[in-house]
Amino acid sequence: MIAIFHNYGSLLLQGFGQTLLCSIIALVFSLIIGSMFAIFETTPIKFLRVIARIYIEVFRNIPLLVITMFFFVVIPMFVAKINGFTAGTIGLTIYTSAFIAETVRSGINSVDPGQMEGARANGLSWWQSMRYIVLPQAFRYVIPPLGNQFINLVKNSSVLAFVAGFDLMYQGNVIASDSLNTMSTYICIGILYLIITLPLSYWMRYLEKKLA
């Protein structure tokens, strides 16, 4: 195991960086897209609600691998060439945004509807009350679940291994077949994933307790 870290340190580090990078990019974009659809779902406009519902249901019920492979294989044939890392990050973003939309929506719903009514009564528009009154409160509720979504995102980023995205899992497969020391390699990879996910998961549990 130490030999693996020693001989393949730079590959592991590169993979670690790529995994972190694509997780963070995907988190930022899926937060934006997810919040957007969550707001759509709570608007009084029926058309937007239907659009949001369809988006969420479709991408929550299709495997991440199918979405990612779609961007890696199908899109380049008809639209534009995208590499494995980008395809993987887009796949992760779309998949995660559907889950984040659900999370944020439940956060918005848990804010007392009286808040919205009060804000409207005071002359704020629907969007203003959403933006300044409801959303800030909603996000406080949903920080722990969002943290858990980020942990899932880091774990799910292993899907990049299927599309040669140079992430940690991809490098793991390469190292395993080069060193032929399969188990030691995957244990090293596991430790590197835990370095990201384990502290996060304890932190989120702490936050959950604090908020409850």
Partner 1 sequence: MKKFFRLVGVIISSLALVLVLSACGSKSLADQNVVTRAKRTNTITWGVKADTKLFGLMDVKNSHINGFEVDMAKAITKQILGPKGKAEFVQVTSSTRMPLLKNGNIDAIMATMTITPERLKQVDFSRSYFDAGQSLLVKKGSPVKNVRDLNHKGATVLGVVGSNSVQNVAKFAPKARVLQLSDYAQAMTALKSGQGEALTTDNGILAGMSVENPGYVLTGGAFTKEPYGIAINKNQPEFKRDLNQALTKVEQSGQYNRLLNKWFGNVPGMNIKEMER
Partner 2 sequence: MKDFINAYSWINIHYLLQGLWITVAVSVVSILGSYVLGSILGIIRYVNIKIVSPIVGLFIDIIRNLPLLLIIFFTYFGLPNLGFRPSSVWATILAMTVFESTMIAEIVRSGIAAVDPGQMEGARANGLSYGQAMYHIVLPQAMKKMIPALVSQFISLIKDTSLATIIVLPDLMHNAQIVYGQNSTYILPMFLMIAIMYFIVCYALSLLSRSLDRRMS
Q: Where do contacts with partner 1 occur on this chain (CB under 8 A)?
A: 1, 72-77, 81, 83-84, 161-164, 170, 173-174, 176-177, 180, 182-184, 187
| Residue 152 burial (C-beta neighbours within 10 Å; 0-12, 13-18, 19+) | middle
Farthest-apart Cα atoms in the chain, separation: 69
Nearer to partner 2, 13 or 187 (CB): 187
Residue 74 interacts with partner 2 (CB under 8 A)?
Answer: yes
Among 17, 63, 118, 136, which residue interacts with partner 2 (rule: CB under 8 A)?
Answer: 63
Nearer to partner 1, 141 or 162 (CB): 162
Residue 64 interacts with partner 2 (CB under 8 A)?
Answer: yes
Say how far residue 85 (Cα) sits from the centre of its chain. Answer: 15
Residue 17 interacts with partner 2 (CB under 8 A)?
Answer: no
Question: What sign has the CA pseudo-torsion 66, 68, 74, 78?
Answer: positive
d(CA 104, CA 197): 22
Nearest-approach distance from CB 113 to partner 2, in angstroms: 20
